[in-house]
């Protein structure tokens, strides 16, 4: 086969693969959006997989291609919020920054997202996150989820001298994420009263960082 034909075939294959990936992403997004709209209106418990499929205009077989169960859509919703916060962190590391200020911006973006949803749905999302984490720890599902909200921030902060060199960054990040998850649950339950989620959880993580920095 002439070289030009080989290149054209390769380019065509890459374009088809790119199109298929984009279409797959769009279909998955449509399912998540349809589910969220139904959950906001009808509640999580009363919404079935069939309802989601009808709203998204897809077959049940296609739904199960992307999600093993309705609960996995709920988990995906939580991941989308985490990824949005990760993106906020990334954007705020381009110039001068302070660790606490970047954390506050990430938490604020998460709080805005939370405010758009019913609180019982937020609680279900957190509880499903815990269940999925348990499945990962017991080996029932692969650990292919990037849910590390502050990993990039803490790693860069350590390189930049804003965190002590002795700090175990992955461990600190896991603890900070635990504060976020529990903070979301307590905020949704109303235990923060008039205090904002960003203020309460931001202070908790700041205290955590201070303690880690002071360790020998």
- Here the CATH number for the domain that contains residue 23 is 1.10.10.60
pLDDT bin (cut points 50, 70, 90) of residue 24 is: confident
Domain final position from 14, 42, 66: 66
Query: In this structure, are 144 and 129 located in the same domain?
Result: yes
pTM of the predicted structure, to 2 decimals: 0.81
pLDDT bin (cut points 50, 70, 90) of residue 17 is: very low
pLDDT at 199 over 80: yes
- Domain of 148, CATH number, reads 1.10.357
Query: In this structure, are 117 and 214 located in the same domain?
Result: yes
If you average pLDDT over each of 13-27, 105-119, 126-140, which comes out highest?
105-119
Q: What is the pLDDT of residue 130?
A: 87
Query: In this structure, are 178 and 193 located in the same domain?
Result: yes
Buried/exposed 165-186: b ≥16 CB within 10 Å, e otherwise: eebebeebbebbbebbbebbbb
Query: In this structure, are 10 and 79 located in the same domain?
Result: no
Residue with the larger pLDDT of the pair 118 and 3: 118
Query: In this structure, are 61 and 97 located in the same domain?
Result: no
If you average pLDDT over each of 21-25, 110-114, 195-199, which comes out highest?
195-199
pLDDT at 3 over 70: no
The pLDDT of 140-144, averaged and rounded, is 63
% of the chain exceeding 70 in pLDDT = 86
Q: What is the pLDDT of residue 143?
A: 59
pLDDT tens readout for residues 145-191:
667 899 999 999 999 999 999 999 999 999 999 999 999 999 999 99
Domain hosting 32: range is 1-66
Query: In this structure, are 3 and 95 located in the same domain?
Result: no
Q: Name which of 39, 209, 177, 198 is nearest 111 in CA terms.
A: 198
Query: In this structure, are 53 and 107 located in the same domain?
Result: no
For the chain, give the number of residues: 216
Residue with the larger pLDDT of the pair 200 and 136: 200
* Contact indicator for 35, 47 with CB cutoff of 8 Å: yes
Query: In this structure, are 34 and 127 located in the same domain?
Result: no
Query: In this structure, are 62 and 76 located in the same domain?
Result: no
SS3 content of the chain, % helix, strand, coil (to 5): 75, 0, 25
Q: What is the pLDDT of residue 89?
A: 96
pLDDT at 22 over 90: no
């Amino acid at each position: 086969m002439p070289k030009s034909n080989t290149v054209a075939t390769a380019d065509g294959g890459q374009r088809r693969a790119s199109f298929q990936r984009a279409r797959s992403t769009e279909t998955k997004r449509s399912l998540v959006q349809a589910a969220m709209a139904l959950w906001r209106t009808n509640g999580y418990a009363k919404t079935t997989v069939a309802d989601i499929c009808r709203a998204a205009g897809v077959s049940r077989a296609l739904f199960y291609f992307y999600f093993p169960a309705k609960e996995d859509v709920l988990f995906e919703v939580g991941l989308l919020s985490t990824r949005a916060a990760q993106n906020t962190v990334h954007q705020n590391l381009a110039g001068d920054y302070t660790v606490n200020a970047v954390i506050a911006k990430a938490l604020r973006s998460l709080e805005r997202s939370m405010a758009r949803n019913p609180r019982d749905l937020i609680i279900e999302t957190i509880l499903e996150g815990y269940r999925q984490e348990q499945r990962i720890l017991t080996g029932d599902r692969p650990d292919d989820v990037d849910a590390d909200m502050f990993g990039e921030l803490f790693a860069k902060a350590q390189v930049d001298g804003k965190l002590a060199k002795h700090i175990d960054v992955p461990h600190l990040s896991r603890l900070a994420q635990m504060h976020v998850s529990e903070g979301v649950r307590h905020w949704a339950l109303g235990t923060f009263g008039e205090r904002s989620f960003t203020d309460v959880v931001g202070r908790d993580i700041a205290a955590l960082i201070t303690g880690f920095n002071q360790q020998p």
